[in-house]
Structure 1
Amino acid sequence: MLAPSRILKPAVKRAGGGRDRDKLVAKSYEMIAEGSKSFASASRLFDLDTRERVWMLYAWCRRCDDITDGQQLGGALAKQDGPVDRTKAIRVLTRRAIDGEPTADIAFDAFGQVASECRLTMSMADDVIAGFALDAKGWRPRNSAGLARYCFHVAGAVGVMMARVMGVPADDDYTLARACDLGIAFQLANIARDMAEDDAAGRCYIPAEWLAEEDIEPGQLMKPHHRGEASDIARRLALTMDRHLRAAKLGTVHLPFRSRWAILSAANIYGAIGYEVDRLDHKAWDHRVVISRPRKLWLIVQSFFEALWNRPMPPDHMPEWTYADILLEVRMSGDIPPPPMTPLPDED
């Protein structure tokens, strides 16, 4: 008579874990406004529905990153105790969120909400979580392909989800590939800007082959006597970023105007970070490179006319790292178990 199966009813699964959607959106905006001012500025250009969904997706990405690094909204890195367990927790909470179950974490519930609205899958989320798993085990890229794989996991896969949030169909491989290019470009700019911070935290995302080519000894990348070589590496990152950025803009042509304007604004703002690191040469890490508010506004205005013109110039050569090739390598990699290949739901 008192058996739980007779007196307890299973919880009703609801998108967002049953939380009020407006509260999820409000909290998500607080996170993006504090954690990424550049992206927050560009996100205001989306139409209302897309803007709110972008914020909820960002909140999940930010929260996963903070859990992995022991940070608070991208603050100082903390000592990493139990990083593998942290990654497992991220995966469990994400699965619960996608299944419509409450997670007791508003950022994960926000992801559950946007996943339900935009048909984001656990496979897509696993591609991103795999990047946190790489960080958790102290992984470092050996060559350019390894760097491409890392950039895909931590940013390119997010770009693919962003495209879905903006309404890009699941079978539009070309646009999804260009969205991946955009994420990779963003991450390359971040890596170039944060070389000193990463070095101080014991991390290095520069391929070992690149370091060997510059005759940089292990652990010596940011030493004063290697500033010239570090600048050469930053330029290489910036040039690769530029190629991916130009390729990414080709994918904006068929987006709605406001989405196109927002994406071009974000591309131009993040691109300016990479270009500034390159311009500053060996002084690039004396202070953290940021884009001033007046310059951001100017870039947003420029992006408005670029979106109106809607004739992006292709790069001289398309990126060496293609979405299809990276995805194939990811699926075949033995380092991290490939995510389950859950088919995308049919479009309405």
Structure 2
Amino acid sequence: MSARELDAARITDPALRSAYRTCRTLNARHGRTYFLATRLLPVERRPAVHSLYGFARHADDLVDDLGTSATTEERAAALDHLDRRLAAGLRTGTSEEPVVHALADTVRRHAIDHRHFHDFMASMRSDLTVTDYPDLAALSRYTHGSAAVIGLQMLPVLGTVVPREEAAPYAADLGVAFQLTNFLRDVGEDLDRGRIYLPADLLAAHGVDRALLTWSRATGHRDARITRALREAAAVTREIYHRAAPGIALLDPVARPCIRTAHILYGSILDAVAADGYAAVHRRAVVPRRRRAAVAADGLARLAAARRRHRRAPAPEVPA
């Protein structure tokens, strides 16, 4: 993380600066789309967003990437250890764990509801034992903690021009849309981990089950039933994007270009999956670099315009 970002956010303690840099590194390494959009935020707000993502990424890594030979019990123990550090960090405002140290500081600065982090950890813990979801309602209970709360955590950092509770449903929906997009893109990789994040009833409506997905992944053979199921899953996800879109106008104007860019870039992943023939069981679709660059350039132009307007007008009051 650049000294400019940390200085702008008035983060001066050396240990805390190091903790925020750790979070930024996690964001840059694992969340290319998210990281690119974050670059469109005012410089003083970026460290807080990096800390939120860095903590979430670290917890997710404990569940999925602790080591190929790690047992479920070992992963659970690591997650429990992080949960204890989280509880202590939120209580005291500090931690020896870098991602928790930065997170606790962000939570204190922006008065973020602690409940969102408890809900997040509950969803991470469920990944240790839950391997599929019977319907969208069951999946939605998982994505509340794994994705909706990320949007809710972000709201105090981004700022709103309406009471925060008015913007909250849109922020939650956008977080869920982002995660459903990742689920669709990563069907094959998740299947390798033994998980299916597409509702079983949606799959069954097209004649798809775990056995068919596993066969397709193992053999590399396509199946029209899988294509139809993934196309419907994409349509469900696009509807959630549509539902979330009006919330962008409720944000602080200087934060809107970032979220609008993220909205477009993640939606472009759905476009890439479709352009690849819904072959997500076999490979991960990638948004063309030219598309990413064009969206980012548009975001920069919108950010510059928002900053000009911001300099000409009084800063908006951020509702509690």
Task: Describe the shift of the 1:306–1:242 C-alpha distance in structure 2 as closer, same or farther (beyond 3 A).
Answer: farther
1:250 is displaced (CA, Å) by 0.6
Alpha-carbon distance in structure 2 between the residues aligned to 1:233 and 1:212: 8
* Aligned counterparts of 2:101 and 2:194: Cα–Cα separation in 1: 32
Partners in 2 of 1:41 and 1:80 — Cα distance?
Answer: 34
1:293 match: 289
* 1:94 matched residue in structure 2: 86
Residue of structure 1 aligned with 2:247, choices 243, 248, 251: 251
CA distance in 2, matches of 1:46, 1:309: 13
Q: 2:208 aligns with which of 208, 216, 239?
A: 216
Alignment-derived partner of residue 81 in structure 1: 72
Q: Give 5+ residue unaligned stretches, structure 2.
A: 1-10, 307-318
Q: Equivalent residues in 2 for 1:145-156 (5 A)?
A: 145-156=137-148
Q: Deviations over 1:222-259 (max 9, x none)?
A: 43366322222221221122122122221111322331
Give the alignment of 1:276-315 within 5 angstroms.
276-303=272-299
Residues 150/19 of structure 1: CA separation in 2 closer, same or farther (3 Å cut): farther
Distance in 2 between residues matched to 1:248 and 1:309, nearest whole Å: 23
Quote the residue 1:38 is aligned against: 33
CA distance in 2, matches of 1:149, 1:159: 15
CA-based RMSD: 2.7
Candidates 252, 268, 276, aligned match of 1:272: 268
Check conservation: 2:19, 2:101, Cα contact below 8 A: yes
Q: What code does the residue aligned with 1:118 have?
A: H
Greater alpha carbon shift after TM alignment, 154-163 vs 270-279: 270-279
Alpha-carbon shift at residue 153 of structure 1 (Å): 1.6
Gap runs ≥5 in structure 1: 1-15, 311-346
Corresponding residue SS for 2:194: coil
* Shift in Å, 1:187: 0.8
The Cα shift of 1:215 comes to 2.1
- Is 1:178 aligned with 2:170? yes
Q: Does 1:61 align with 2:56?
A: yes
**1:116-174 deviation line (CA, Å, top 9, x unaligned):** 11112321101111210210222421111112222222111111101122134995323
Tell me what 2:313 maps to. Answer: none
Q: Matched residues in 2 for 1:279 and 1:130: separation?
A: 35
Summarize the alignment of residues 127-138 of structure 1 with structure 2, pairs less than 5 Å apart.
Answer: 127-138=119-130
Distance verdict in 2 for CA 1:305–1:45, change over 3 Å: closer
Q: Spell out structure 1 runs of 4+ moving beyond 6 A.
A: 305-310
| CA offset digits 1:88-111 (Å, max 9, x no partner) | 223211111111254322111111
Task: Give distance in 2, aligned partners of 1:299 and 1:191.
Answer: 22
Give 2:290's aligned amino acid: P
Corresponding residue to 1:238 among 231, 234, 258: 234
1:4-62, CA deviations, whole angstroms, 9 ceiling, x for partnerless residues? xxxxxxxxxxxx9x863322222221111111111111101101221111011111111
What is the aligned residue count?
292
Give the number of the structure whose residues are more often helix, by fraction: 2
Distance 1:308 1:235 in 2: 37
Q: Choose 222-231 or 33-42, whichever is displaced more.
A: 222-231
| 1:261 correspondence with 2:257 | yes
| Kept in 2: contact 1:268–1:303 (CA 8 A) | no
Q: TM-score, normalised by structure 1?
A: 0.76
CA distance in 2, matches of 1:146, 1:170: 31
Is residue 133–residue 197 contact of structure 2 (8 Å, CA) maintained in 1?
yes
Name the structure 2 match of 1:314: none
Say whether the 8 Å CA contact 2:188–2:283 is kept in structure 1. no
Hey, what's the Cα distance between the residues in 2 that align with 1:309 and 1:238?
33
Report the counterpart of residue 159 of structure 2 in structure 1: 167
How far apart in 2 are the matches of 1:297 and 1:121?
A: 35
Change (3 A) 1:87 1:23: closer
% identical aligned pairs: 22
* Aligned mates of 1:213, 1:278 — CA distance in 2: 20
Partner of 1:141 in structure 2?
Answer: 133
Contact persistence 2:94–2:101 (CA under 8 A): yes
**Counterparts of 2:69 and 2:303 in 1: how far apart (Å)?**
41
SS at match of 1:220: helix
Q: Distance in 2 between matches of 1:220 and 1:308?
A: 50
